[in-house]
Homo-oligomer: A and B are copies of this chain.
């Protein structure tokens, strides 16, 4: 038995495994413009547009926690996560498929609530619920969301197009979804340790970060602005796995590096307060926290001024360098930290 036979997924890692298994599928279809490697697959080219397709699976107890996440909010959040992948290609989402694997303890009313959230979010993003699947599950509720969209040929943005000296921009703020999760997990622990089963935690002090965790909003507004103003980033990705991970994706795909400024990371005051209370480093929240569903994009320096006149919704955090795969961060103290060649 070779050593390989006992390798766990964790030991290889997500990115490594995906790269590895892609090698088993060698057929190339003329209807697929771009397969594995971006937020969405690029399909079905015609005269004017490309189709965009993305699918993700969410497992109870891994990606969501029914003890503090209401069903309608889970439904809405997963739709936001799905359409965010289409926006990250500078496209528009049109159709959503929802697959559920449902254990017995989940009642039809809970499924109803899930779909109410899905339906409301679909309306917000201009998507039609167009199908899906329903099966059983022994333990966990499992939800798979597939989203289909399109983009004009001349407007598509890949994560591989960053150029040296491009400014690296991020919409909104980052790390807040993780801060919200930390607050919710702490309250869950308090509730579990308390003698009062109906204790309702007061989360009003943390309203912003909790909302960012439970009902994140995908950046439809940014994509609308790009379209209206004819702005096309050189590369783009949604910040779903964490800023550093997603910046590594841009750097690796573009065969470039990045130099960012710690002091420029857009962090909300409430996120800082959470980190202070938890005695944790808020920059770790910003660099590694996932699920913010902000957009990170690169733009030629000269375009940044134009965008800044149009929107206050983004921050320049650094620039693209020509040292392939290398991410450097200048700390507030002026030191330079170098991050590994590839995040996982």
Partner of A131, one of B41, B94, B132: B41
Is A70 in contact with chain B by the CB < 8 A criterion? no
Asked whether B51 lies within 8 Å of A134 as measured between CB atoms, the reply is: no
Asked whether B135 lies within 8 Å of A59 as measured between CB atoms, the reply is: yes
Contacts of A188 in B (CB 8 A): none
Contacts of A5 in B (CB 8 A): 107, 109
Asked whether A25 lies within 8 Å of B144 as measured between CB atoms, the reply is: no
With contact pairs A17-B111, A118-B25, A144-B144 given, residues A131 and B55 touching in the complex (Cβ less than 8 Å): yes
Closest B residue to A105 by beta carbon equals: B8
Within 8 A of B (CB), among A10-38: 10-12, 14, 17-18, 20-22, 24-29, 31-32, 35-36
Partner of A135, one of B4, B8, B62, B109: B62
| Alpha-carbon distance A236/B147, docked complex (angstroms) | 25
| Alpha-carbon distance A15/B69, docked complex (angstroms) | 27
Q: Is the interface of A mostly helix, strand, loop or mixed?
A: mixed
Partner of A118, one of B24, B35, B58, B95: B24
Shortest CB distance A208–B (Å): 27
Asked whether B122 lies within 8 Å of A55 as measured between CB atoms, the reply is: no
Of the listed stretches A96-104, A253-261, A301-309, A328-336, name the one at the interface; the rest are far from the partner chain: A96-104
Asked whether A53 lies within 8 Å of B95 as measured between CB atoms, the reply is: yes
Shortest CB distance A109–B (Å): 5
Asked whether B62 lies within 8 Å of A101 as measured between CB atoms, the reply is: yes
Asked whether B14 lies within 8 Å of A146 as measured between CB atoms, the reply is: no
Within 8 A of B (CB), among A47-99: 47, 51, 53-59, 61-63, 94-95, 97, 99
Is A211 in contact with chain B by the CB < 8 A criterion? no
Within 8 A of B (CB), among A92-142: 94-95, 97, 99-102, 104, 106-109, 111-112, 115-116, 118-119, 122-123, 126-140, 142
Contacts A28-B128, A57-B101, A139-B140 known; 20 new A-B pairs at CB < 8 A: A8-B104, A11-B108, A24-B116, A25-B128, A27-B122, A31-B128, A32-B95, A32-B130, A35-B129, A35-B130, A46-B47, A55-B131, A56-B133, A58-B135, A59-B136, A62-B136, A137-B142, A138-B140, A142-B142, A144-B144
Shortest CB distance A8–B (Å): 6
Asked whether A9 lies within 8 Å of B108 as measured between CB atoms, the reply is: yes
Asked whether B144 lies within 8 Å of A31 as measured between CB atoms, the reply is: no
Chain B CB within 10 A, most for which of A17, A63, A144 = A144
Shortest CB distance A151–B (Å): 12
Asked whether B17 lies within 8 Å of A134 as measured between CB atoms, the reply is: yes
Partner of A46, one of B14, B46, B107: B46
Is A148 in contact with chain B by the CB < 8 A criterion? yes
Contacts of A142 in B (CB 8 A): 57, 59, 101, 137, 142
Q: List 6 A-B contacts (CB under 8 A).
A: A14-B134, A40-B131, A44-B94, A56-B99, A62-B136, A97-B146
Is A6 in contact with chain B by the CB < 8 A criterion? yes
| Alpha-carbon distance A127/B41, docked complex (angstroms) | 13
Contacts of A123 in B (CB 8 A): 25-27
